[in-house]
A and B are shown apart, each in its own frame.
Chain A
Amino acid sequence: DAGVIQSPRHEVTEMGQEVTLRCKPISGHNSLFWYRQTMMRGLELLIYFNNNVPIDDSGMPEDRFSAKMPNASFSTLKIQPSEPRDSAVYFCASRIQGRSGQPQHFGDGTRLSIL
């Protein structure tokens, strides 16, 4: 079975540029999460969706960050404009929502470097 697929795996760009990260969840999973991982703060939840609808975006650091889920098989996380402090590894995870105790399944992340 295909797991969660993220692209690109690595992104290096200059400050001020727009960055778009992409995620394809596991088929049949109806809940999708975006996380950011840094050495300083560990794994932080940015936003999550249930059935393609954003439920909680309280972890999104600023208005420069936005996320969409136009259908059940695709989500994007966009940063515009990007800043050096946005450098981190960004993970997407999916799970089956509505069944107690279902674990999240993670992609292999996008390593983002803003110069």
Chain B
Amino acid sequence: EDQVTQSPEALRLQEGESSSLNCSYTVSGLRGLFWYRQDPGKGPEFLFTLYSAGEEKEKERLKATLTKKESFLHITAPKPEDSATYLCAVQARISGGSYIPTFGRGTSLIVHP
């Protein structure tokens, strides 16, 4: 069974204090790893897709990286508006001919001013 584990469950940072969120997975035949951001009362919002080990994607203060066993979401000099829950989803399971993502439980990030 595919497993997706995110750590830490919760993270508190001071504004400007860089850190990383982790998403580790045990799947066979990865067909994409997705990062989403979820604000309270909202649905997950797509951030990045990574396909192969060594790949990196960047958007503003966020950078996502991928290895064969895990992905990191690096947050550089975070601001309070980066506070949200960050979800990782791994796509490897085939159901009915389609690859279906399996979501982790998320990391709740709070950035204090």
Contact surface of A with B, Cβ cutoff 8 Å: 4, 31, 42-43, 45, 48, 50, 55-56, 58, 91, 93, 97, 100-101, 103-109, 111
B31 and A101 within 8 A (CB): yes
Q: Are B103 and A101 in contact (CB under 8 A)?
A: no
Which of B42, B97, B103 interacts with A42 by CB under 8 Å?
Answer: B103
Q: Is the CB of B96 within 8 A of A55?
A: yes
A97 to B34, CA, bound (A): 16
- Determine the chain B residues whose CB is within 8 A of the CB of A4 once the complex forms: 43
| Given the contacts A42-B105, A101-B51, A103-B49, A91 and B43 also touching, CB distance less than 8 Å | yes
The reply to whether B49 and A55 contact each other, CB–CB distance below 8 Å, is no
Q: How far is the CB of B27 from chain A (nearest CB, A)?
A: 15
Residues of A within 8 A of B99 (CB): 100
Which of A45, A48, A105 touches B46 (beta carbons < 8 Å)? A105
Q: Which residues of B contact A107 (CB under 8 A)?
A: 43
Q: How many A-B residue pairs have CB under 8 A?
A: 56
Q: Pick the residue among B45, B98, B101, B106 that contacts A55 (CB under 8 A).
A: B98
Decide yes or no whether B87 CB sits under 8 A from chain A.
Answer: yes
B100 touches A108 (CB 8 A): no
The 5 closest A-B pairs by CB, nearest first: A106-B43, A55-B96, A101-B32, A56-B95, A42-B105
Chain A residues with CB below 8 A from B32, complex form: 100-101
B98 contact from A97, A106, A109, Cβ within 8 A: A97
Min CB distance A40 to B, Å, is 10
Q: Which residues of A contact B46 (CB under 8 A)?
A: 103-105
Q: In this assembly, does B113 line the interface, its C-beta being within 8 Å of a C-beta of chain A? A: no
Q: Is the CB of B91 within 8 A of A108?
A: no
Evaluate contact between B31 and A100: CB separation under 8 angstroms.
yes
A68 vs chain B, min Cβ distance (A): 17
Q: Cβ of B31: which chain A residues have Cβ within 8 Å of it? A: 100-101
The yes or no answer to B80 lying at the interface (CB within 8 A) is no
Q: What A residues does B100 contact at CB under 8 A?
A: 45, 48, 56
Q: Closest residue of chain A to B104, judged by CB?
A: A42
Question: A111: which B residues are within 8 A, CB to CB?
Answer: 41
